[in-house]
Amino acid sequence: MVEQDWVTERFAEHHERLRAVAYRMLRSTGDAEDAVQEAWLRVSRADTGQVENPGGWLTTVVARVCLNMLEARQVRREEPAGALPPEPVAPHPGPEDDALLADSVGVALMVVLDTLSPAERLAFVLHDIFAVSFGEIGEIIDRSPAAARQLASRARRRVQGAAAASDAARSRKREVVEAFLAASRDGDFAALLSLLDANAVLVADPAAVRMGATAEARGADAVAAVFSGRAEAARLALVDGVPAAVWARRGRPQVVFSFAVTDGKITGIELLADPDLLRDLDMVYLGGE
């Protein structure tokens, strides 16, 4: 019982960081929650007698779960169509995942990260974002520290190479988001439709739903109906350096509106209101609001 209490306390102590690691790795709030839950199931059954660094140990467990999930995603993408069940199966992550990923890294970098192998992605995210050592990363992916360093370096070069291309996309995205907010405030349904892809998807995390947001809407008409005349208080902002919108109350951000934009059209919008996730985001309000 004492050992179980120790595990419970340490998991609660590091829970916010574990969720942040999972979210950065998987770019889906739902998948991140699943990963943390699976990690809890694993650590609650583990022998903790030799654990000297609880934070590092828990991060390693979550990272291994995320690695397995990324590898499963890759298998689903590469599986031949003839081997799939008869019902439709998307060959890549859906619009919800695209919206999350685009919110953090932009369209160009999203494409680059999706082309990285699971091991490259893990090495890059854990080292460059969470300062995990290459020795620890090597243990997670069953490679030497030098090999882990090489994976992270390769991923970093590809990400940096896409940064210049993403600047133009970021500028265009700001224009699209700014136009969307203006059309929403004015209740200009036609203008909203012109900015939305025909298959646009809106999703909201559980915290946003509890605040009254629509949980999900699919198709340009449905998404436009949700926003028409209803974004008066949302402000244009850079969230982790990417154009987005933020609704704040008494100076405290309450909801982040992240947008996925492709070829000048909004393909996905996600509403994030989870306080733990919002604390991890860097927000800068832009002028003209």
Report the alpha-carbon distance of residue 167 to residue 161 in Å, rounded: 11
Q: How many domains does the chain have?
A: 2
Give me the half-sphere count of Cα atoms (radius 13 Å) on the Cβ side of residue 157: 5
State whether 49 and 156 are in the same domain: yes
| Buried/exposed 191-229: b ≥16 CB within 10 Å, e otherwise | bbbebbbeebbbbbbebbeeeebbeebeebeebbebbbe
Q: pLDDT higher for 125 or 74?
A: 125
Can you list the positions of beta strands (E) in the chain?
Answer: 196-204, 216-218, 235-239, 242-249, 252-262, 265-272, 283-285
State whether 160 and 184 are in the same domain: no
Find the angle CA(203)-CA(22)-CA(124) to the nearest 5 degrees: 115
136 within 8 A of 208, measured Cβ to Cβ? no
32: pLDDT strictly greater than 80: yes
137: pLDDT strictly greater than 90: yes
Residue 89: both structure tokens together: 């199966």
Predicted TM-score (pTM) of this structure: 0.48
State whether 112 and 229 are in the same domain: no
Give the end of a domain, one of 130, 164, 198. 164
Contacts of 170 (CB under 8 A, 6+ apart): 106, 241, 242, 243
SS (H, E, C) 39-61: HHHHHHCCCCCCCCCHHHHHHHH
Predicted pLDDT of residue 99: 42
pLDDT band at 188 (very low <50, low <70, confident <90, very high): very high
Strands 196-204 and 252-262: unpaired
State whether 50 and 13 are in the same domain: yes
Give the end of a domain, one of 100, 132, 164. 164
- Residue located via tokens 């685009």: 102
Nearest to 196 by CA among 283, 148, 140, 262: 262
State whether 147 and 169 are in the same domain: no
The CATH number assigned to the domain holding 20 equals 1.20.140.160
Predicted pLDDT of residue 83: 37
Report the alpha-carbon distance of residue 199 to residue 180 in Å, rounded: 16
Mean pLDDT, residues 25-44: 89
State whether 128 and 205 are in the same domain: no
Mean pLDDT, residues 109-117: 69
- Residue located via tokens 């209101």: 273
Q: Break the chain down into helix, strand, coil percent, rounded to 5.
A: 60, 15, 25
38: pLDDT strictly greater than 70: yes
State whether 141 and 18 are in the same domain: yes
Residue 150: both structure tokens together: 């090489």
Bridge partner residues of 266 (DSSP): 196, 261
10: pLDDT strictly greater than 90: no
State whether 79 and 107 are in the same domain: yes
State whether 159 and 179 are in the same domain: no
Q: pLDDT higher for 213 or 114?
A: 213
Find the angle CA(65)-CA(242)-CA(207) to the nearest 5 degrees: 55
State whether 136 and 190 are in the same domain: no
201: pLDDT strictly greater than 90: yes
**pLDDT tens-place string over residues 269-286:** 999 998 888 887 778 888
Give the end of a domain, one of 164, 187, 205. 164
Predicted pLDDT of residue 50: 75
**pLDDT tens-place string over residues 90-107:** 333 344 444 444 444 444
State whether 130 and 192 are in the same domain: no
The CATH number assigned to the domain holding 217 equals 3.10.450.50
Predicted pLDDT of residue 191: 95
Three-state DSSP at 254 gives strand
Domain span holding position 183: 165-285
86: pLDDT strictly greater than 50: no
Task: Tell me 82's DSSP state.
Answer: G
Nearest to 236 by CA among 254, 256, 251: 256
State whether 137 and 170 are in the same domain: no
End-to-end CA distance of the chain: 55
Report the alpha-carbon distance of residue 266 to residue 173 in Å, rounded: 9
**pLDDT tens-place string over residues 141-178:** 999 999 999 999 888 877 776 665 566 677 888 899 99
